[in-house]
Amino acid sequence: MNKTKHYLKIVISGHVDHGKSTLIGRLFYDTDSIPEEKIKEIKEVCRQLGREMEFSFVMDNLQEEREQSITIDTAQTFFKTPKREYVIIDAPGHKEFIKNMITGASQAEAGVLIVSAKEGAEEQTKRHAYILKMLDLKQILVVINKMDLVDYKRQKFNKVKKQIEAFLKKLNLKPTFIIPISAAKGDNIAKKSKKMKWHKGKTLLSSLDSFKESKKITKAPLRFLVQDIYPINQKRILVGRVESGTIKKGQKVLILPSKETAKIKSIEVFMKKPTSASAGQSIGITLEEDLFIERGAVICTQKDQPKVTDEISANVFWMSKKDLKRGERIIIKNVTQETEGEIKTISNKIDSSTFKKISAQARILKNNEVGEVKIKIDEPIAIDDPNQIKETGRIILERDMIACGAGLINIEEK
């Protein structure tokens, strides 16, 4: 990824069939972000099927390429406006969504919630809004889609808008923009709709362009989590991503959980040896000292350390048909850190699609419920307050190699 360029990471969510794929395809099409041949190919397929250009096919096409690729960076899809580039992070509904959403690799800076004008908010609309809330996204945009199916009527838009505003308010979320669109026809995406002159606000693209990129993370404390160790020419290169802050050549660092100190000898990026690297960059580093380091080690500075603990409390969003049970043993992941643990308590349970409190103390957490979960883990890991560092402020709960739950860590001051 070109570091000097500005880009904004967005997540597109909404109930199934409300138009996520269509919108993504449309965004790519309207910003000339898909090669001409691909468009021709898709148009031809649609022609043979005897239908209009189906924009969701663009997404399917990208998805196929994505599945064939192995690197993280190409798994993300880009489109651009004259102002900047955008990266679309996996949309909910895809298998790996929760995991991708929670791991640092796909840290959204803005969220688009899509709602069909015809159906209005449905179960997943609310659930995804809850996820946006959990992600602590401050820049939220709602698009009311399929306006063509309701004759571009203002009254219909206002009705759905009211409904959405009311439930977002329950979550204390306030969308920056609410825009009537037709992803299929291209109304209010790149160009202002001629059919909805009553809408005085911006188009979707210019609204996105007005959002801010989060710069905070490069200034935040250093967190470099080791993903792999490559022995090359008698050197041991520690490969990983700078999740937060900046790492510099010559810098004195602390390695957790072992608490050893070391000095950065070099930073290695393909064919280059930069003197520093910052949040979001995947790099390799070498140390002056010959230390035994494993995957999951956290590199930080003495001054700004994460909390190393074997007890975690987190607000967990459970997404598996098989309940999470008190007493159950489960895998806990935090970026590249991984350990096993036991569920000690489950409390303050909420239904994620009605936002209703279910119970104060519970034995189980069911699919789509959120609860405060306390876990005793086998090996201590380094965690942060998600309000300060999002990447290391979250955990994934995994069962049989499948991410079943995602949690925002509560750091309790002792």
Q: Which is nearer to ligand GDP, 124 or 392 (CB)?
A: 124
Contact flag: residue 61 with ligand GDP (CB under 6 A)? no
Other C-beta atoms lying within 10 Å of the C-beta of residue 303: 8
User: Closest approach of Cβ 52 to ligand GDP, in Å?
Assistant: 9
User: Closest approach of Cβ 163 to ligand GDP, in Å?
Assistant: 18
Contact flag: residue 19 with ligand GDP (CB under 6 A)? yes
User: Closest approach of Cβ 127 to ligand GDP, in Å?
Assistant: 14
Other C-beta atoms lying within 10 Å of the C-beta of residue 162: 11
- From the list 22, 124, 313, 334, which residue makes contact with ligand GDP (rule: CB under 6 A)? 22
Length of the chain equals 414
Contact flag: residue 100 with ligand GDP (CB under 6 A)? no
Contact flag: residue 126 with ligand GDP (CB under 6 A)? no
- Measured CA to CA, the distance from residue 333 to residue 197 in angstroms comes to 49
| Dihedral class, residue 368 (left if φ above 0, else alpha if ψ from -120 to 50, else beta) | left
First to last CA, the chain: 41
Q: Which is nearer to ligand GDP, 114 or 375 (CB)?
A: 114
- Measured CA to CA, the distance from residue 56 to residue 42 in angstroms comes to 10
Return the SS3 of 319: coil
Q: Are 277 and 269 in contact (CB under 8 A)?
A: yes
Site string for ligand GDP, 395-414 (x = CB under 6 A): --------------------
- Measured CA to CA, the distance from residue 115 to residue 112 in angstroms comes to 10
The neighbouring-strand residues paired with 297 are none
Binding range to ligand GDP, per CB under 6 A, among 17-25, 203-211, 285-293, 355-363? 17-25
- From the list 9, 11, 20, 173, which residue makes contact with ligand GDP (rule: CB under 6 A)? 20
Contact flag: residue 184 with ligand GDP (CB under 6 A)? yes
* Helical ranges in 69-153 per DSSP H: 97-102, 123-134
User: Closest approach of Cβ 50 to ligand GDP, in Å?
Assistant: 14
Residue 136 has which token pair? 């602590």
Contact flag: residue 56 with ligand GDP (CB under 6 A)? yes
- Measured CA to CA, the distance from residue 15 to residue 122 in angstroms comes to 6
Binding range to ligand GDP, per CB under 6 A, among 11-19, 227-235, 291-299, 348-356? 11-19
- From the list 61, 100, 139, 145, which residue makes contact with ligand GDP (rule: CB under 6 A)? 145
User: Closest approach of Cβ 117 to ligand GDP, in Å?
Assistant: 9
Residue 320 has which token pair? 């598996």
The neighbouring-strand residues paired with 239 are 228, 284
Give ∠ CA 216-406-229 in degrees, rounded to 5.
70
Residue 399 has which token pair? 């069962």
User: Closest approach of Cβ 350 to ligand GDP, in Å?
Assistant: 25
Contact flag: residue 183 with ligand GDP (CB under 6 A)? yes
Name 215's Cβ contacts closer than 8 Å, sequence gap at least 6.
none
How far from chain centre, in Å, is Cα 384? 17
In our burial notation (b when 16+ CB lie closer than 10 A, e otherwise), range 138-158 reads ebbbbbbbbbbebebeeebbe
Site string for ligand GDP, 361-390 (x = CB under 6 A): ------------------------------
Q: Which is nearer to ligand GDP, 116 or 392 (CB)?
A: 116
User: Closest approach of Cβ 182 to ligand GDP, in Å?
Assistant: 4
Residue 308 has which token pair? 């190393």
Contact flag: residue 125 with ligand GDP (CB under 6 A)? no
Residue 385 has which token pair? 């307050």
Contact flag: residue 53 with ligand GDP (CB under 6 A)? no
Q: Which is nearer to ligand GDP, 27 or 316 (CB)?
A: 27
Binding range to ligand GDP, per CB under 6 A, among 161-169, 179-187, 276-284, 347-355? 179-187
Q: Which is nearer to ligand GDP, 57 or 177 (CB)?
A: 57
Return the SS3 of 371: strand
Contact flag: residue 146 with ligand GDP (CB under 6 A)? yes
Contact flag: residue 49 with ligand GDP (CB under 6 A)? no
User: Closest approach of Cβ 158 to ligand GDP, in Å?
Assistant: 18
Among candidate residues 343, 335, 347, the one with its CA nearest the CA of residue 383? 335
Per CB under 6 A, residues contacting ligand GDP are 14, 16-22, 54, 56, 145-146, 148-149, 182-184
